[in-house]
Amino acid sequence: GEPIRVLVTGAAGQIAYSLLYSIAKGDVFGKEQPLVLVLLDITPMMTVLEGVVMELQDCALPLLREVIPTDKEEVAFKDLDIAILVGSMPRREGMERKDLLKANVKIFKSQGAALDKYAKKTVKVVVVGNPANTNCLIASKSAPSIPKENFSCLTRLDHNRAKSQIALKLGVSANDVKNVIIWGNHSSTQYPDVNHAKVNVKGKEVGVYEAIKDDSWLKGDFILTVQQRGAAVIKARKLSSAMSAAKAICDHVRDIWFGTPAGEFVSMGVISDGNSYSVPEDLIYSFPVVIKDKTWKFVEGLPINDFSREKMDLTAKELTEEKETAVEFLSSA
């Protein structure tokens, strides 16, 4: 078949190092789909990137038709089918969140404009670089000719973390747990919600609350563990999550490409327009979605209790504030 063009930005970084092999060997787009991998990073990283290219060549992968390393947006964004935007300005010590937003608005405004100008209009764009939700919104606003629905940000890592915590608590396999939800921002205000989640215990599907029988854990430590897991990994490894982030990106993109399994939904940050959960419009907010024919839809009609409502509103408030700050910078960037 015809190869598809896949861009990974921040391609010399540690998440990409875990991600590129999985994509190139067919874990994401299937074992029949040839690929052209386009790798973008900043100019000082070009030598490191050459090393990554050598290693990809040395993997001798049958699906990998071409690897294009570049520091130029006009090369990177040309005719793309998929863009995975991993590169962003990391938070340095002593840096205010505002400064971080400002630096990233500049990057994602520029990359959004490049998508608008060079990529296919059908391109699917996944933003991983933090603050992911707001970076995603800025990229989308900077690419007006590409449908808003084509942009999503990664909350699958949080989703997988939640799923895994439940599985560990019950001593079951992670794939025995389904339909956990991450609502809101990919930050410590995110709300991991298991009110609608199901777990397979000894061949019988039961609700997570019923299976665990420990409401105070589910409303307390469970939520905190998922919200703060990224920080816990950094504290232990002195580096941020890379293997698990790369795995989550693969899950997210594979589900966009092939759809979600029947009876299951997943979490992703998508444009909030038209949602039925009283989340303000024009935010990239993580919702439960189902995907078919490369198109996502909100999971509708889930009852929301007062505990959930409060947490969903809190993360929406943070996203609204982030957006306001970012949009101010956008006009000056």
Q: What is the CATH number of domain 155-320?
A: 3.90.110.10
How far is Cα of residue 95 from the mean position of the Cα atoms in its chain? 23
The residues spanned by each domain of the chain are 4-153, 155-320
Among 19-28, 99-108, 308-317, the range scoring the smallest mean pLDDT is: 99-108
pLDDT of 28 reads 98
Q: Which residues contact 223 (CB under 8 A, 6 or more apart)?
A: 191, 192, 311
pLDDT of 90 reads 86
| Residue 104 marked in a binding site | yes
pLDDT of 67 reads 98
Mean pLDDT of the chain: 97
Is the pLDDT confidence value at 70 over 80? Answer: yes
| Residue 97 marked in a binding site | yes
Is the pLDDT confidence value at 53 over 90? Answer: yes
Specify whether the CB–CB gap between 168 and 221 falls below 8 A: no
pLDDT of 333 reads 64
Q: What is the mean pLDDT of residues 98-120?
A: 95
Alpha helices in 119-196 (DSSP H): 132-141, 156-170
Q: What is the mean pLDDT of residues 117-141?
A: 98
> CB-side exposure of 46: number of CA atoms within 13 Å?
7
- pLDDT per residue as tens digits for the range 301-314: 999 999 999 999 99
Q: What is the mean pLDDT of residues 112-137?
A: 98
What whole-number distance in Å separates Cα of residue 32 and Cα of residue 46?
A: 30
pLDDT of 332 reads 81
Please tell me whether the peptide bond between 303 and the residue prior to it is cis, using omega within 30 degrees of 0. Answer: no
Q: Which two tokens stand for residue 323?
A: 């957006």
Q: Which of 42, 24, 86, 94 is nearest to 240 (CA)?
A: 86
Q: Is 252 among the catalytic positions? A: no
| Residue 128 marked in a binding site | yes
Specify whether the CB–CB gap between 70 and 49 falls below 8 A: no
Q: Which two tokens stand for residue 102?
A: 């400002």
In three-state secondary structure terms, 200 is strand
Q: What is the mean pLDDT of residues 248-255?
A: 98
Is the pLDDT confidence value at 94 over 90? Answer: no
pLDDT of 213 reads 97
| Residue 299 marked in a binding site | no
* Residue 319: C-alpha distances to residues 68, 208, 295, 312 (Å): 35, 28, 24, 11
- pLDDT per residue as tens digits for the range 135-193: 999 999 999 999 999 999 999 999 999 999 999 999 999 999 999 999 999 999 999 99
pLDDT of 307 reads 98
* Residue 309: C-alpha distances to residues 218, 228, 288, 290 (Å): 16, 20, 15, 22
Put simply, whether the predicted model's pTM sits higher than 0.95 gets the answer yes
Q: Output the furthest CA–CA distance in the chain (Å, rounded).
A: 58
**Residue for token pair 């990994």:** 233
- pLDDT per residue as tens digits for the range 203-240: 999 999 999 999 999 999 999 999 999 999 999 999 89
Specify whether the CB–CB gap between 35 and 24 falls below 8 A: yes
| Residue 65 marked in a binding site | no
Q: What is the CATH number of domain 4-153?
A: 3.40.50.720
Q: What is the mean pLDDT of residues 44-64?
A: 98
Type of residue numbered 328? E
Return the number of other C-beta atoms located less than 10 Å from residue 162's C-beta. Answer: 28
Q: Which of 162, 190, 157 is nearest to 177 (CA)?
A: 162
Packing angle, helices 14-24 and 46-58, rounded to 10: 30
Catalytic residue among 159, 186, 196, 252: 186
pLDDT of 98 reads 82
| Residue 161 marked in a binding site | yes
